[in-house]
Homo-oligomer: A and B are copies of this chain.
Amino acid sequence: MSNGKLILIPVTIGGSIDMSLPAGNHELMDSCHTFIVEEVRTARRFLKSAGYPYPIDDTVFLELNEHTDPRTIGGYLDPLEKGENVGLLSEAGLPCIADPGALVTQMAQRKGIEVIPLVGPSSLMMTLMASGLNGQNFAFAGYLPVDRTKREKAIKMLEARSLKERQTQIFIEAPYRNNQLMQSLVSVCRDETLICVGCDIMLPTQSIRTLTAAQWRKKMPELHKRNTVFAINGQ
Contacts and interface: CB of A to CB of B under 8 A. Distances in A.
Given A140-B138, A141-B137, A208-B115, A94 B19 contact: no
A134 B23 contact: no
Contact of A135 (B96, B108, B131, B133): B96
Interface string A191-235: 000001000000000101110000000000000000000000000
Interface in A15-40: 15-16, 18-25
A117 interface: yes
Contacts of A19: 22, 24-25, 118-119
A128 B135 CA distance: 16
13 contacts: A8-B129, A18-B23, A19-B118, A20-B22, A101-B135, A105-B132, A109-B131, A119-B120, A137-B141, A137-B142, A138-B139, A138-B140, A141-B167
Contacts of A134: 102
Contacts of A4: none
A62 interface: no
Interface of A: 8, 15-16, 18-25, 94-99, 101-102, 105-110, 115-122, 125-142, 167, 196, 206, 208-210
A140 B141 contact: no
Contacts of A130: 8, 96, 105, 109, 115-117
B22 A102 contact: no
B136 A142 contact: yes
A208 to B, nearest CB: 6
A6 to B, nearest CB: 8
A122 B196 CA distance: 21
Contacts of A140: 137-139
Given A97-B125, A115-B130, 9 more contacts: A96-B129, A102-B135, A102-B136, A105-B130, A109-B196, A109-B209, A117-B127, A122-B125, A137-B141
Name the residue among A126, A128, A134, A135 with the largest chain B CB count within 10 angstroms. Answer: A135
